[in-house]
Amino acid sequence: MRTFNKILITVLFFIFLFLAGFGEAFAQYCSPDDFTVVTINGIFTTEKEAVANMEGLRKILPFNRNTEEIKVDYLHNPTHLGGVTDLFAAAYQKYFDEREVRDFDLVEILKEASKKITTQKVLLVGHSQGNFYANSFYDTVANRSGGIPAESIRLFGIATPTSRVAGDGKYLTSDTDKVINLIRTGKIVSVLPANAKVTLDPGDDSNGHNFRNVYLKYLKGDIIRGVYNSLGELSNNSVQLKENYCIAPPDPTLGHRILEGFFFLADPYALAGKAIIKTAVKGADYLSQKIAEGALSIFSKLASTAEKIPNESVAVIAYDNLVTDQTDKQKSAEPTQQTISPSTPPQTFQIAPIWNQAANLSTSSTSENIDPSKPDSVVLNPSRNRSSRNVSPSPVSEVVDPVVIPPDEEDNHSEEEEDDNDSEGNGNEEESNEEGGNNGNEEENGNEEGGNGGGEESDPPIPGQIKYIDKYKFGTGNGDGRDWQVWAFNGSNIYDWSDTYINGYLNEKFKLQTYRGFWCSQCLERGIFKNGDPRLGFLRTDLTISSLEYSPQNNMIDATYLVDILWDALGYTYTITNLSDDNTVHATGHTDIAGVDENMWVGWDGSFNSFKFFPSGDWIGIPYASPGLEGGGSMMMEPFAVYIGLPLPLLPHLSTTTSGPYENDGLNILEGNENQTIFSFRVIYTCPLNREPEQVMLHTENLNSSLLSDFSMERITSGEGIFSDGDFSNGEMYGYDGTFEAGEYDYYFTSTDDDETFRFPTTDTKFKFTVTSPTYTYIPKYSFGVDELGRYWQIWAFDGSYVYDWKNSYRNGFLRQDFKIKTAESGTGSENFLERGIFNRDPQKGFESSDVTLSLLKNNPQNNMDGEIYSVSITWKATGYTYYLRRGEQLVGYEEVVVESLDENTWVGWNSSENHFQTFPSGEWFSIEDSPFPPYSGGFNMILKPLPVYESTYSP
Amino acid sequence: MKNLFNHKSLKVMLWVLGLTVILFGSGLVSRIAFLFHQEDVEAKLKEIHEAKISLADITGENMPSFTGSKSKDTVEGIDENNNGIRDDVELSILNAYPDLVTRAQLMQYAFALQTMANTKYVNEDIATAVIQEKSRAYECLASHLPKDTENILEISDELAQFVEKLQLNTPARIKADDNFYKKIGSFNQTQKEFCDLKI
């Protein structure tokens, strides 16, 4: 049985190794053309940052050198065990800086390089600790079997802590790189001198060490030149065959696989532990600053002392982890000298010897010294170093932050390998509790949910940051099953709260009801937050607190006010209207606020709170004096951005021209006559996406009659320049022309597009125009025919004449009027005659004196007193009319009259010349019995029914 | 005959033979499973690399409606028009950048970031492919400018940050983005065309 177990274990082990190798093989070749530039990052650099560094370098480098493409890639130097092993690696690498050094990560890097490098010519760009790996990479592959001939590989070091650049490569180190300077000034180890000058700006990485934000920013030209020139030093070779890998693929050893498995298993625990330590470090921030003020000076003393100690690892640890307990460090440094011993690299190689060498070195002789699984074997005790950081987190982190404790790195690691959903719990909760300072709030309010102690999301690790929780706010969204309708104060209630946006700016409105006998010592309070949505977290320094201007909350009268606060680019306008006093304005004014933008938010609470306790709110039910609404006190309003520029302008919108007759309000005139004046409305519909609207409407309201009317507007397709070019993205004009009944009018426009309606002007604003009654309105009473009283008006009597047999007809659309005049045989006659009125519109809808042209009959026979009967015929045509006057068959009068501007709006009517179309109605009836011209009945002073002179559809 | 099977050498031989069969069978099963898995992975990789933004996305023909604050409810957000770009981000880009060239670059970058948000982790290859596309999208930013433009990196970063600020606008999204990078392997840029659209 024992034999069986041994065999089984052996077989399973080989199965594991066998299966693990599946899928790794892939085909590629090593091109003699093109270049590969590969970045290698330093310690504590996340994969994301490594990618960003590569992307930044690729962005600034040219695509080609001469005709050959420049490929830019990266090789990630990962962080293991929370960075502990990397610190050891750095120390180890520094110690062996003058010769090749191989460890687990180098094997991984070489493994990746084998996959990625597909050109003979390679340039390695190391940053910070990555330069150690670059050197070791070079030492391992240059001129080695399965590697790269020296003429085809170069190094370019950036911010290098090394004493050399392998292969006589170039480098670039800033004189203000505090991390490198610190190592150099310690005089413990040899570091290449600075060779570039950088003047940092405020806000830059204070260490001057960051690859992307310092070196690429300030030394872009030097880097481009350095890389470009280094590439120029590369040449093709005949050793690397096109059909092979540029670098021979690794043949991982058993030890390498074991280490890989170890890291896989151990990393999550190590990283979680590191996150806890970091949280504690942040919680002791103040203490750490005090202690750390002396850290550098202590370090300098230590460094001076250490000059006597010929061990480079001391300085390396100092460089990578400045916040250490100096005593521990000094003590721990000593044995390192004794335990780390250089090994002589092998001199002979087989087909893939470099991998075997590297793996052997990392797992055999060297691993005894730096085996991360045996921290005790290395004198510098990582746990003690970490502990010391907990006690005295140093402000030195400001100096060497990217290298020593990159906050992002730590945050990342605190969550690494955790499921996205599962990881959002405890760790963050602890962090929030410590940093938010709101724990007491939960106890005070007795709330179980919400609060700043139980954050659902991971808080940014900013000390003092707390979250604004909009609870309890108006509405049913508080999760308590209640509808918070009113916010009760002592002496007032607030309700009908609304938050809307006008032209992108916040408009807050609410009603404020005050009542007698109660004083509000803690009233409404406004919080203005300058750095975005405070619900995501805010600092006290982000917050400005103010009261409602001229708040009537303590007026102690029974009244209801409407509070209207409208934000703009310079602050906000407040208007408080007393609704109980005929809408008188209680207070209004503008409060200037600097820096209004999308990141400025506003929230409201009670002044007892000052935005310190979240959530806040006490349910009451129906508060005292409430207008029948339920709610509570101590509420916390939902915060809103004071300005949202997005995405409203993108949406279709209406506007008017900015000049011309329709400017600003889209109407040609603001005042006109009832049923006469043609009001022309013009509005411009603009859709940035060049979409035609479903409809554009004009909406009017007659404020006198409360009549609401909607008019469809038509697109004007010509004559309006770009507004009639068919391109909706630059605006198309829509119009409506019409007359209106008398009254005061409000109007606005809307457009409908995809079921979205856009209004202009915006909500609650309307344009106005006025329609006045006309001076005269033509009332065709009394005219020929039977009136409503059954009286038959057959003759129109004048002194000395009678008009009768009046006929109206149309020929070819033009009016013809025929009638007879019977003159008296004796008498004095009259000064009152037939008078014609030619109107430029239908006078029945109203007219002014200027709208009518008066005229008499030419050779008017009315005062002839000859007892004759005259026939009158007036025929209209396009230019005017022709007049005939006959006595029997004899033509006694004739006239061709030209009427200017004759059109379908030209009307003609008749009255007595003493009236002049000024008195309506007019007419004096006489019966047959009283008729001066029996057997006809009729009357005096008649006003005949007006008619259009041209009416194609007219049917008499 | 019975003695023959009791012979120690024969027992060992049978054990070796049996174990060899087991080893071969296990390997075969694993290989088949691997091939099935690899087929799915390769299809997914193809899909990731072939997904591109369209002209309609940048002209606004495919414009979504305004989603408001509800778009922040999930990491993925709302993509009503189903073009792979979160609606609120898409609207903001359309609004802020009228020129099509910049729009195309920003949309591609937003598309890549949204792909990160949408992609469920299957394996390192797929995660890496997504990041490759994101990296390609970054290179596309400001690519209409000459490489030797004085502030090309700053311009690119400004554009990238414009999108990232919109895209990563909740703690959950920031966290998901950070976590995504932990799932990738080193990669190189395999495509020479950085921009989806040539404008």
Evaluate the omega torsion of the peptide bond into residue A268 and state whether it is cis, within 30 degrees of 0: no
Q: Which long-range contacts (CB under 8 A, 24 or more apart) does B139-146 make?
A: B139/A55, B139/A58, B139/A59, B139/B189, B139/B194, B140/B105, B140/B108, B140/B109, B140/B194, B140/B195, B140/B196, B141/B105, B141/B106, B141/B109, B142/A59, B142/B105, B143/B105, B143/B194, B143/B195, B144/B101, B144/B105
Q: Which DSSP symbol is given to A610?
A: T
> What pLDDT band is residue A347 in, cutting at 50, 70 and 90?
very low
Whole-angstrom Cα Rg for chain A = 48
Q: Please indicate whether, in this complex, the C-beta atoms of A116 and B22 are within 8 angstroms of each other.
A: no
Interface test with A, best of B40, B188, B192 (most A CBs within 10 A): B188
Segment A509-522, tens digit of pLDDT: 999 999 887 777 67
Is the pLDDT reported for residue A450 higher than 70? Answer: no
Who has greater pLDDT, B52 or A355? B52
Q: Which residue has the higher pLDDT, A43 or A213?
A: A213
Q: What is the pLDDT of residues B181-197, one digit of tens each?
A: 888 876 766 667 889 98
- What is the pLDDT at residue A426? 36
CB contact under 8 A, B34 and A22: yes
C-alpha A766/C-alpha A759 separation (Å) is 10
**A contacts of B31 (beta carbons < 8 Å):** 22
More confident of the two residues A816 and A651 = A816
Residue A94: strand, helix, or coil? helix
CB distance A191 to A183 below 8 Å: yes
Q: What is the 3-state secondary structure (H, E, C) of A826-894?
A: CCCCCCCCEEEEEECCCHHHCECHHHEEEEECCCCCCCCCCCCEEEEEEEEECCEEEEEEEECCEEEEE
The rounded distance, in Å, linking the Cα atoms of A729 and A735 is 18
A926 alpha-carbon distance from chain centroid: 81
How far apart, in Å, are the Cα atoms of B119 and each of A339, B116, B124? 48, 5, 12
Q: Pick from B26, B181, B186: which is nearest to A112 by CB?
A: B186
Residues of chain A neighbouring B178 (CB-CB closer than 8 A): 46, 48, 408, 411-412, 415
Q: What is the ipTM of this complex?
A: 0.82
Which DSSP symbol is given to A460?
Answer: P
Does B59 sit within 8 Å of A51, measured CB to CB?
no
- Supply the DSSP symbol for A661: T
Is the pLDDT at A364 greater than 70, yes or no?
no
pLDDT at residue A116 greater than cutoff 60: yes
Of A205-209, A412-416, A701-705, the poorest mean pLDDT is in A412-416
Q: Do B27 and A59 touch (CB under 8 A)?
A: no
Q: What percent of chain B has pLDDT over 90?
A: 29
Q: What is residue A345's DSSP assignment?
A: P
Asked if residue A852 has pLDDT above 90, the reply is yes
Q: Which of A48, A56, A650 sits opposite B94 (nearest CB)?
A: A650
Interface of B with A in 54-113 (CB under 8 A): 59-61, 63, 65-66, 75, 88, 91-92, 94-96, 98
Confidence tier at A186 by pLDDT (50, 70, 90): low
Does residue A657 have a pLDDT over 50?
Answer: yes
Label residue A316 by pLDDT band (50, 70, 90): very low
Count Cβ atoms below 10 Å from residue A659 Cβ, excluding itself: 8
Can you give the pLDDT at residue A356?
Answer: 35
Q: Across-strand partners of A897? A: A881
For A682, the 3-state DSSP assignment is strand
A720's CB contacts (< 8 A; 6+ apart) are A733
Give the pLDDT confidence score for residue A12 in this predicted structure: 52
B152 vs A contacts (CB less than 8 Å): 59-60
Q: Which of A556, A826, A528, A48 is nearest to B182 (CA)?
A: A48
As a whole-number percent, the residues of chain A with pLDDT over 70 amount to 70
Sorting pLDDT into bands at 50, 70 and 90, what band is A469?
Answer: very high
Determine the average pLDDT of the residues in A176-205.
81
- A367-398 tens-digit pLDDT: 333 233 333 322 222 232 323 323 222 222 22
Helix A382-391 to helix A326-339 angle (10° resolution) is: 170
8 Å CB contact between A906 and A863: no
Mean pLDDT highest for which of A359-368, A471-480, B59-68? A471-480
CA-closest candidate to residue A103, choices A332, A368, A351: A368
User: Number of A:B CB contacts under 8 A?
Assistant: 129
pLDDT at B68 exceeding the cut of 70: no
Q: What value does the mean pLDDT take over residues A745-755? A: 88
Residue contact A651–B94, C-beta within 8 A: no
The residue-averaged pLDDT of A563-574 equals 92
pLDDT tops 70 at residue A927:
yes
The minimum CA-CA distance between B100 and chain A, rounded to whole Å, is 12
Query: Which amino acid, A463?
Result: P
Q: What is the pLDDT of residues A247-263, one digit of tens each?
A: 876 665 555 565 555 55
Instruction: Indicate if the pLDDT at residue A502 is higher than 90.
Output: no
**B15 vs A: CB within 8 A:** yes
